[in-house]
Amino acid sequence: MFFVETLGECADPAEEPPADEIAAGLTFQGEPPGALLLRLTSPAARQISADFLGIDEAEVSNGQTSEVVRELANMICGSVLSRVEGAAAFHLAAPQIVPPSEEIARNLSNIRYCVRLSNGRLTVNLGTGIPICPQPTQSAY
């Protein structure tokens, strides 16, 4: 449904978000419960929206961009959860547009991933009540 070419990982996904971002967040219930926050630079969000809707980028309204970003957050969350906990059942809340600077609950175990796109970047922050990708232990050697 989305045609997005990534150009590699961002140098520092934890850096302060640019002022020209749009973000969507959603929570989910299941084992484990948690939340997902998707941030896209505005130019990337508009291009992705145009591609998704099959229209010229100049025709994309702000409302359409918001709808597509919410749908992308929903699809990424469902995909990640089905890959990480394929046997578990999850209930995803409806994604909402949130301030780009918003962080998901600080008491969650967070995983952040950022990729560069031809016209911006896409950042996903997934937080759960328990670590879903444990950190490797350090060797004593």
In tens, the pLDDT along 8-53 reads 677 665 555 566 899 999 999 888 888 999 999 999 999 999 999 9
- Per-residue confidence (pLDDT) for residue 100, from 0 to 100: 75
d(C-alpha 65, C-alpha 71), whole Å: 10
Q: Which two tokens stand for residue 14?
A: 């934890």
Number of domains in the chain: 1
In a domain, 115, yes or no: yes
Burial of 8 (0-12, 13-18, 19+ CB in 10 A): exposed
Q: What is the CATH number of the domain that holds 123?
A: 3.40.1550.10
